[in-house]
Amino acid sequence: MRKRLIAAAAALLLCGCGSNVPDHELSAKETTTAQTAPSDSKPRKSGDDSKPAVTTAPTETTTTTTTTTAPPEDAGMVMTTTAAPKKQNYDYVNGCILAYSGTPQMRAMEQYFYSTDTGAYLAKSVDNFAKKAGSGVNVYLMVIPTATELYCPEELANDSLDQTVCTQEIYSKLKNSKGVLVNGILKKHKAEYLYSRTDFHWQPLAAYYAAKVFAEEAGVDFPLLNTYEAVERHGFLGGFYYVSNITSLSQYPDDFTYYKPANVDKLKVKYYDRAFTSGVESRLFFEDNGVDASYTVVLGTDDTIAEIKTGVKNDRVLVLSKDSYGNALTPFLTQSFSKIYVIDHRFFETNTIDFIKKVGATDVLFAYNASSAGNPDRIALIEQLMNR
């Protein structure tokens, strides 16, 4: 059981949300040694400054991993039944929303909080960054909806904030940067397996659709989903189960599917420490991570700087500044930019303006889930890192 709790802590530490887990509680969780990439190829797990990373393999979870080819783009791709069940129940459990109990659609979700002042603060901070970056750098903001936006029971949704409206309000205040609205495409595909039911994060399939919108906005190539290799995992239980202690979710564990791009074997990947020194050659996918740390398969951790040379010949260099939701975006952009640098503003120790100039960034994408985007402390990091 201890190994499974470690895997769950890894999933939570990757989570950029935090509506359910106050910052002081999350800080306490971060002292746990978490499951990460093998120690010969990656630095420590996010939040652990004192202990070396270890790899643990959960022994109590049964998983079947199969490799398949993704269906054609227009084939529907309904991987699970997420249509609203007849049993429209919900309750509040340990600070979370637990909906559709007793049905295969049972899921936990975060409560969503937003204020106009906080939205204006985010827009101003991203605009300030764009101004300092200069006219030669395209700066984008993607506020990623949480599962509550798509799967909240009707009765509760009618009395809740609309994340689309809130995000549009943020984007309306942008002057020097561009908003990337992904709510619409995710709602269009809501019958597919877009968000884990037992974890805070979205599924990689949802990240594919969001990355597609961004690629169109940025004017770069973007391959269809059927060009990726889909890898399935079964029996995934995430942070809502392990950390929020919603044990009834074990009745219906998640499936988890991630996608490997056609150029995966050609990628040259290095991971640097938080100060952008001590680069170590490694890989993009850490497939030996246990099933209950499935969200860590891409990038493995948050507290490093990833450099990905893709072989794409378009001289576009993307800096992806993200919370943990941004991890899932990364594989879908490896055929769109010649280089990608992935940084997490929570675990970054150098001036961000100096950094983007040093790496020759042509594009910067701030990608935060809606909970992070509504957290003033997280937004303050954008300003702090510009003036470090």
Q: How confident is the model at residue 87 (pLDDT cuts 50, 70, 90)?
A: low
44 touches 53 (CB < 8 A): yes
For the chain, what are the domain ranges?
Answer: 2-386
128 touches 81 (CB < 8 A): no
Whether the per-residue pLDDT at 88 is higher than 90: the answer is no
pLDDT at res. 159: 83
Amino acid at 154: E
What's the chain's length in residues?
Answer: 388
Instruction: Report how far residue 27's alpha carbon sits from residue 331's, in angstroms, rounded to the nearest whole number.
Output: 29
Residue 140, judged by CB atoms within 10 A of its CB (0-12, 13-18, 19+), counts as: buried
Give the pLDDT confidence of 303-327 residue by residue, as tens digits. 999 999 999 999 999 999 999 999 9
Give the pLDDT confidence of 11-50 residue by residue, as tens digits. 444 443 333 333 322 222 332 223 233 333 333 333 333 3
Share above pLDDT 70 across residues of the chain, in percent, rounded to a whole number? 78
Nearest to 109 by CA among 194, 233, 5, 191: 194
Instruction: Report how far residue 173's alpha carbon sits from residue 117's, in angstroms, rounded to the nearest whole number.
Output: 11
Q: How confident is the model at residue 150 (pLDDT cuts 50, 70, 90)?
A: very high
Instruction: Report how far residue 101's alpha carbon sits from residue 81's, in angstroms, rounded to the nearest whole number.
Output: 15
Query: How far is C-alpha 343 from the chain's CA centre?
Result: 12
pLDDT at res. 158: 84
203 touches 257 (CB < 8 A): yes
- CA angle (322 as vertex; 321, 325 as ends), nearest 5: 155
69 touches 329 (CB < 8 A): no
Instruction: Report how far residue 365's alpha carbon sits from residue 377's, in angstroms, rounded to the nearest whole number.
Output: 19
pTM for the complete prediction?
0.82
Residue 254, judged by CB atoms within 10 A of its CB (0-12, 13-18, 19+), counts as: buried
Q: Average pLDDT for residues 80-107, to the nearest whole number?
A: 82
Q: Average pLDDT for residues 278-282, to the nearest whole number?
A: 95
254 touches 104 (CB < 8 A): no
In the DSSP assignment, the letter for residue 202 is B
Instruction: Report how far residue 103's alpha carbon sits from residue 90's, in angstroms, rounded to the nearest whole number.
Output: 12
Two structure tokens written together for 195: 């968000």
Two structure tokens written together for 64: 């079947």
- CA angle (235 as vertex; 231, 238 as ends), nearest 5: 100
Give the pLDDT confidence of 338-385 residue by residue, as tens digits. 999 999 999 999 999 999 999 999 999 999 999 999 999 999 999 999
Q: Mean pLDDT lowest for which of 60-69, 191-200, 316-325, 378-387?
A: 60-69
Label the pairing between strands 178-179 and 138-144. parallel
Whether the per-residue pLDDT at 388 is higher than 70: the answer is yes
Give the pLDDT confidence of 246-255 residue by residue, as tens digits. 999 999 999 9
Give the ranges where 87-203 is alpha helix by DSSP (H): 116-133, 148-151, 154-157, 163-172, 183-188
